[in-house]
Amino acid sequence: MEISINNYKRCDIVKVSGRIDSSTSPQLLTTFNSIMDDGKYKIIFNMSDVSFISSAGLRVLISTQKNCKRYNRGELALCNLPENIKAALDLAGFIPLFRIFDTEVEAVGSF
């Protein structure tokens, strides 16, 4: 798994390429936590290059979303979901819990 972060004026974009499973999801959690530790709670997660997500990865998303939304200070939004990943989010009932955008531009433009 590789993680990149891009900082913009009103939000940060996190992009992962590869698998998000029990082996790699702690690294993703650390990334989200380090952004929040900097006082930034508007995060976009670009999933275009995520090849696989297990329930361990889904847990990271839900706990990050709760953390971001606390005190109305922000939000974790998702973008560029591959079909398989979207099906996993759907099965887990996650679709109503996140704003989901087709492109990074739409996601950034929404903050």
**Residues in touch with a second copy (CB under 8 A):** 6, 8-11, 13, 104-106, 108-111
Are 68 and 39 in contact by the 8 Å Cβ rule? The answer is no
Give first-to-last CA distance, the chain, whole Å. 27
Pick the closer one to a second copy by CB: 100 or 108: 108
Tell me the per-residue interface mask from 39 to 78 with another protein, x by CB under 8 A, - otherwise.
-------------x-xxx-xxxxxx-xx--x---------
Pick the closer one to a second copy by CB: 6 or 34: 6
**Beta bridge mates, 77:** 44
Angstrom distance (rounded) from CA 77 to CA 107: 7
Residues 24-43 that bind another protein (CB under 8 A): none
Are 46 and 80 in contact by the 8 Å Cβ rule? The answer is yes
Closest contact distance (angstroms) between CB of 63 and a second copy is 25
* Binding of residue 99 to another protein (CB under 8 A): no
Are 48 and 15 in contact by the 8 Å Cβ rule? The answer is yes
Pick the closer one to a second copy by CB: 8 or 26: 8
